[in-house]
Amino acid sequence: MKRFAFILALTFLAACSQTYKISVRPELYVNPSDIGGQQNVGFKVVDRRKNKNVGEGRGRLAKFKRYTIIADSNLAETIETPISGGLEEMGFRVEPFAQKQGPKLRVDILKFKDEYTEKISSITKIYEKLSVALRANCVNGKKKYLNIYSAVKKETHGVVSANFPNEKLVNSTLSLVLQEMFEDKKLIACLAGK
């Protein structure tokens, strides 16, 4: 009887939780240049978050129902792709981070969190807040540069019109942070040794 109750409880918990996968595909626009002078740059992205989920909580209209939002691929690898492409557009040759000489760039994912809050009134609204923070650490000989790039975007949806989870908001916010990083002249100067 105890075993039956345990199995029943597990089934109930599984039915009360749902996992959503989102496609994280940020865009980055970089003007082609030769500022990098074809020098090698050691590069890697490290996910420093303790919880690797994009979001989690109690879900829409059913307060007892839990949800988890995860990326459909490794977030560090997903972010690495547009940064590598951007560096190559600027005339750098991207190498594994472990190289012994030349400039190095490590990008840490500090925050990547999608939060939903539900307000039930005459019209049920869902409030969404996405927070992204990346830290770039450049080392080029004696030159060092460290900076944090972040963005917070908020949206409000009616339950009927809500896109849950909101991939558009996730990708536009991450794209904004990546764009901010590549517009940082001090970071690019550090990598270029200028």
pLDDT at residue 9, as a whole number: 44
pLDDT at residue 58, as a whole number: 60
Question: What DSSP state is assigned to residue 37?
Answer: T
Closest CA to 77 of 102, 41, 46, 51: 46
Judge contact between 94 and 41, C-beta under 8 A. Answer: yes
Judge contact between 191 and 144, C-beta under 8 A. Answer: no
Tokens standing for residue 74:
């490794």
Global confidence as pTM? 0.82
pLDDT at residue 12, as a whole number: 45
pLDDT at residue 139, as a whole number: 93
Q: Does domain 2-24+38-192 sit in CATH 3.30.160.150? A: yes
**Blockwise average pLDDT, block size 10, the chain, 194 residues:** 48 59 89 91 94 73 64 92 96 84 92 78 71 95 95 75 70 94 95 88
User: Where do the domains of the chain lie?
Assistant: 2-24+38-192
